[in-house]
């Protein structure tokens, strides 16, 4: 019985780590997209809300990716 608890605990720990890694990766990619658009446009888009940046300055593909990443986060 104790072995089963240890296995369950290990699975939960691994699942939590996997979730945190995915979340961190999504946040990094979102920041990268905004940073690249900022450099391309010559405007600091990090000061704007993401919605404003998405509407006006991102390409269609970047908008799709940001929308997906926002749902992940």
Residues 8-62: tens digit of each pLDDT: 888 898 888 888 998 999 999 988 998 898 898 888 887 777 777 677 888 889 8
Residue 70's pLDDT band (cuts 50, 70, 90):
confident
Which has the higher per-residue pLDDT, 4 or 54? 4
Per-residue model confidence (pLDDT) at position 58: 85
Helices 60-72 and 2-41: crossing angle, nearest 10°?
Answer: 150
Per-residue model confidence (pLDDT) at position 43: 83
Residue 1's pLDDT band (cuts 50, 70, 90):
low
- Integer Cα distance of 50 and 48 in angstroms: 6
């Amino acid at each position: 019985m104790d072995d089963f608890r240890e296995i369950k605990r290990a699975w939960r720990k691994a699942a939590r780590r996997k979730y945190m890694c995915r979340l961190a990766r999504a946040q990094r990619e979102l920041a990268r997209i905004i940073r690249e658009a900022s450099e391309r446009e010559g405007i600091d888009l990090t000061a704007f809300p993401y919605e404003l940046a998405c509407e006006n300055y991102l390409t269609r593909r970047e908008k799709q990716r940001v929308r997906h990443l926002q749902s992940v986060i």
